Structure 1
């Protein structure tokens, strides 16, 4: 009897240990994908000079990556339901790594590498769309207990956050040796992530058959018919936040060199300031909001109001210290808003339909990432004031959308009414 108990305890310890290693392996994926995009932000002015291209053209290096991800993330989510998470993640990491090799080789060996760099970034976008977004549902598959799922997702988000802060510093450091070196680090990271996922992650067995494509489309239509207003509001807000964040980072990367003479690793450290604020406030906000939808709504609304108000105040001066202090506050505002948006979708959508909706939400965020750099490249030609008035205007618009369209009380009432109708419908044949 004692031997059996010891064996059971030993097995449980092994299972927990295996899951920890699986989580660490999975956490490498969002880290790789974040570095693959954000690491290039401080390097963009260097690329612009080396290739003798415009600010708009160099912004396409971020935009091409994001546009492909917008289109393919929902498809990757659907495929991962059909054929398995690992069968989507590993080929996607291979494609992302191949894209890194193409961009690295082209920038190193070719005389006019711009279009080949864009082709490589296109491949990276394809790879990223099938890797990072599939991690979240895989964590949900691995654990049955909700606390374990939350803990696992927390580790994944921490890795993503760490990547955001590290990326501008690492990108600037590598570019101080050779401007194209950041491109070469992407396939190296992808290779490490592939090995970790292959050997440490075990996909759980499927409990039920996935929906057919027609059923999948019908379920999406039903969700938007019932919950369309607040879901579309969250999608729009998520896109606006990413638009402002990546637009301001692009602007800051250029203005630090041109106006303030800040270059290299120091520029990377300065760019990390708003991202550090974002990461800290996101971590604290995620811990504090709990499952209270009213708190989520007000955190989102207030965070966006802080972002909008601060960016408008920044228009009054171009002092570097005031600018950095203002952007630190902006990062904090974004950090408070994002976990609330994530939680509203997680809490407001049934588990069976959550993967579809979160993939669409991820796509909408990438719309903002894609639009930010090129549009800010155009705004920069006007003035400092135009950049920050635009940022403030769209942020305050997003705050108004959050305040007007996200209504937790009505959502909860609608959910209760829906369940009662479904219950009545199920009893109807028996009554007849």
Structure 2
């Protein structure tokens, strides 16, 4: 019975990032059509991605605190409902209102607010429900479902757009409401922790960054850059497939899915293998960033579709090595009481990375192909240097400077708690 409940937990939790990622990825192949139908500029159409991610990034820290204080499941379900409502507003605006661009953006902002309480809180929930190797594996699974959403969403987005381009907005509420029901009935959350008053909570958070900020802050930055490059590249690839190569519809969606498939498969294998082995985690991160940097350098010399997609897939494999490692390090950095805030801060900077990818890529695209990818290679190289020299968490939380014997004992007890 416990095993069945454990499977129900992970399936329900895994659906959360799957739905969350559709908010941007399913819209990517539709953006060139939206640009044409509404008479928008490259920058204006990129804002439909940016406002969603920016709203999520700004709201996530608040949602993280609320999840620590009142429980994860309530926050996740309410967030999914808000997410769906935003999709309905954007869809109705595009369907019924002339000059609907502003209303579409408002709907996207509401969707972003809802998205704030999805994937980052799911990461914290996994940290509550699982421990040890099971935790790493579960985090790898949700990173994989996150990537699976990225694979399926360009294809689904292209398919749905065959009906009418704005039909994609109406897909969100269907998926969100269904997932909310599944999470409500399928996830058995452990006994809710007693929430801390906000001043004490912020004080504890300050102490965490004082002790671990030397590696935690660079980890946040590296994660944000990984998502910044990923969504910037998707935006760029979607545009040139349609504008340069005249490829649209299902074929376009399938091509966009190729690099993402490499990331998904790699993330799943990485999450299953790294466990809590921090020296191995660091090595895998460095290898992933070397692959990402190398691919950005190499693709700058090619404008043909086959080598471009192949090299971008290599970069996505690097991202697939990177993200599960960061998830494991950051989720395991703190105790349960502060986990929601930490994972939410991490989710926030990841969303901010996604937010700034498309508009900055749209600006770089006006200069040249090589400018785009040499810039990304330089940024990726910077994260490689940071990961190599600064992301060095201790081999165990028991060895953190300033930890008391009592805290070490509590950590041991927590590791021994059987998982669902």
- State TM-score, norm by structure 1: 0.89
Q: Which residue of 2 aligns with 1:419?
A: 403
Identify the structure with bigger relative contact order (alpha carbons < 8 Å, sequence gap 6+): 2
1:99 deviates by 0.3
For residues 307 and 146 of structure 1, the distance between their equivalents in structure 2, rounded to whole angstroms, comes to: 29
- The aligned runs of 1:20-169 (5 Å cut-off) are 20-142=7-129, 146=132, 148-150=134-136, 152-169=138-155
For residues 380 and 131 of structure 1, the distance between their equivalents in structure 2, rounded to whole angstroms, comes to: 32
1:154 deviates by 4.5
Q: Which runs of 5+ in 2 are unaligned?
A: 408-420
1:156 counterpart SS class:
helix
Question: Which of 152, 158, 165 is the matching residue for 1:179?
Answer: 165
1:147 deviates by 5.1
1:155 deviates by 4.1
**CA displacement 1:59-105 (0-9 Å, x = unmatched):** 11011011111111111111112222232122211111110000110
> Is the 8 Å Cα contact of residues 87 and 107 (structure 2) preserved in structure 1?
yes
Q: Which residue of 2 aligns with 1:277?
A: 262
> Is the 8 Å Cα contact of residues 215 and 390 (structure 2) preserved in structure 1?
yes
Asked whether 1:234 is paired with 2:219, we answer yes
Q: How many residues are paired up?
A: 408
Q: Which residue of 1 aligns with 2:185?
A: 199
1:407 counterpart SS class:
coil
> Is the 8 Å Cα contact of residues 294 and 408 (structure 1) preserved in structure 2?
no
1:343 deviates by 1.9
1:56 deviates by 0.6
1:174 counterpart SS class:
helix
1:177 deviates by 2.1
Q: Which residue of 2 aligns with 1:295?
A: 280
For residues 202 and 414 of structure 1, the distance between their equivalents in structure 2, rounded to whole angstroms, comes to: 29
Q: Which residue of 1 aligns with 2:197?
A: 212
Question: Which of 251, 271, 295 is the matching residue for 1:266?
Answer: 251
**CA displacement 1:92-129 (0-9 Å, x = unmatched):** 11111110000110111111110000000011011111
For residues 226 and 416 of structure 1, the distance between their equivalents in structure 2, rounded to whole angstroms, comes to: 8
- The aligned runs of 1:308-387 (5 Å cut-off) are 308-387=293-372
Q: Which runs of 5+ in 1 are unaligned?
A: 1-12, 424-432
For residues 376 and 150 of structure 2, the distance between their equivalents in structure 1, rounded to whole angstroms, comes to: 21
Tell me: CA distance 1:378–1:187, structure 2 relative to 1, closer, same or farther (3 Å).
Answer: same
Tell me: CA distance 1:417–1:279, structure 2 relative to 1, closer, same or farther (3 Å).
Answer: same
Tell me: CA distance 1:100–1:294, structure 2 relative to 1, closer, same or farther (3 Å).
Answer: same
> Is the 8 Å Cα contact of residues 96 and 123 (structure 1) preserved in structure 2?
yes
> Is the 8 Å Cα contact of residues 140 and 267 (structure 2) preserved in structure 1?
no
Tell me: CA distance 1:147–1:416, structure 2 relative to 1, closer, same or farther (3 Å).
Answer: closer
> Is the 8 Å Cα contact of residues 143 and 323 (structure 2) preserved in structure 1?
no
Q: Which shifted more, 25-34 or 362-371?
A: 25-34
